[in-house]
Structure 1
């Protein structure tokens, strides 16, 4: 399922739990394909050209990076939902620092998310990545990946 996400041409992907490495991999892959990327700001390094600016003011990019969408005020969340509804033909990577997995169903933004990647670093020497595909705000398919370090 992780490879499916790398091959997306449109849709919204939410990465939670501070999964910087996963987000970096996707942005680098999409950038290598020649897609233009606009980010609010970069919480990690990315290879290639990434433009920094407000994503709600531009429609000229193929990929958008929006940071901490779940930690915003109610008004900002409403603006984000409207923006996501009108940009369904674009590829949007939503990067959230806090960990959210099954509780995504409590957020109104769930209606606009196609994939949820929940990253968690466990204390016993492994990382866990839960990937879920959502349709109409409900989880329809999920898979868990575990990596020891």
Structure 2
């Protein structure tokens, strides 16, 4: 399922739990396919060319990278929800630093998310990545990857 996400042409992907490495891999993969990427700001280095700005101002980008969408105020989350509904034909990567997996059901944004990637570094020396494919806010498919450090 991780490879499916890298090959997407449109959809909304939410990465939670500070999975910088995964977000970087996806942005790099999409930029290699000559996608124009707009980012709010970058919490890490990206190899491809990106533009920095607000996603609400421009509509001529193929990929959007939005940081901490769940940690915003209620008004900002509602504005983002409306924007996501209008841009379903774009490829949108939402990057949330806090860990959210099953608690995604508390957020209305769950209805617009196609993939949830929940990254968690465990204390016993391994990393866990849960990839969940959603349709209309319901789990359709789920897979867990474990990597020993």
TM-score (norm 2): 0.99
For residues 43-122 of structure 1, the aligned pairs below 5 Å read 43-122=43-122
Q: What's the CA shift for 1:139?
A: 1.0
RMSD over equivalenced CA pairs, Å: 0.4
SS at match of 1:55: coil
Give structure 1 stretches of 5+ with no counterpart.
none
SS at match of 1:57: coil
Give structure 2 stretches of 5+ with no counterpart.
none
For residues 31-46 of structure 1, the aligned pairs below 5 Å read 31-46=31-46
For residues 131-146 of structure 1, the aligned pairs below 5 Å read 131-146=131-146
For residues 4-43 of structure 1, the aligned pairs below 5 Å read 4-43=4-43
Q: What's the CA shift for 1:140?
A: 1.2
Number of residue equivalences:
149
Q: Deviations over 1:70-122 (max 9, x none)?
A: 00000000000000000000000000000000110110100110000000000
